[in-house]
Amino acid sequence: MMGILRTALILGLAGVLPFFAAGLLAQFAESREVQQLAHATLSLYGVMILGFMSGCIWAFAAKDNDPMGYALSTVPALFGFMVPIFPVYFGLIEPKEALFYLAAGFLVLLGLDLRAWRKGQTPPWWVWLRVLLTALVVPSILLGAFA
């Protein structure tokens, strides 16, 4: 598939499974408690993955000592903390609503992946993997958000 490294593809798809499972669980939960657990799972796992991916963007920036890349690499992690968690904690939005912002965070991340790819900082297959994974993660999060 577009020359994507097989190991990266398998591990990337495995990383999508918690999003997919939690999105389905939220959609088909038979109780409010189970639905809330699914929403929390989506939020917490999503924030963790945004933080992890920030590290990837940082590593790509390090390849060229790219100051803007370093700065931009912090965006997904900070976004993950500030948007889905901070407003919920202070009661500004409901946890379910935060999932829409979390999904947007993954679209922002894809933009950063595209930037790094265009600058030649990533392996050639990286952008195709990230497009595929984003195309699976965002609808999974939204599945939970619309539950």
Structural domain of 40 = 11-145
Global pTM value: 0.93
| Structural domain contains residue 3 | no
Domain count, the chain: 1
Determine the average pLDDT of the residues in 88-105. 88
| Structural domain contains residue 34 | yes
| Structural domain contains residue 6 | no
| Structural domain contains residue 93 | yes
| Structural domain contains residue 54 | yes
Determine the average pLDDT of the residues in 3-10. 95
Determine the Cα–Cα distance for residues 119 and 1; give it in Å rounded to an integer.
22
Determine the average pLDDT of the residues in 66-80. 94
Report the pLDDT value the prediction gives residue 1, as an integer from 0 to 100.
63
Determine the average pLDDT of the residues in 55-72. 96
Angle between helical axes of 95-118 and 126-145 (0-180°, round to 10): 170
Counting Cα atoms < 13 Å in the Cβ hemisphere of 15 gives 20
Q: Which of 51-65, 83-97, 114-128 has the lowest mean pLDDT?
A: 83-97
Determine the Cα–Cα distance for residues 107 and 16; give it in Å rounded to an integer.
15
| Structural domain contains residue 43 | yes
Q: Is the pLDDT of residue 87 over 90?
A: no
Determine the Cα–Cα distance for residues 133 and 29; give it in Å rounded to an integer.
25
| Structural domain contains residue 70 | yes
| Structural domain contains residue 35 | yes
Report the pLDDT value the prediction gives residue 18, as an integer from 0 to 100.
98
Determine the average pLDDT of the residues in 130-147. 98
Report the pLDDT value the prediction gives residue 83, as an integer from 0 to 100.
76
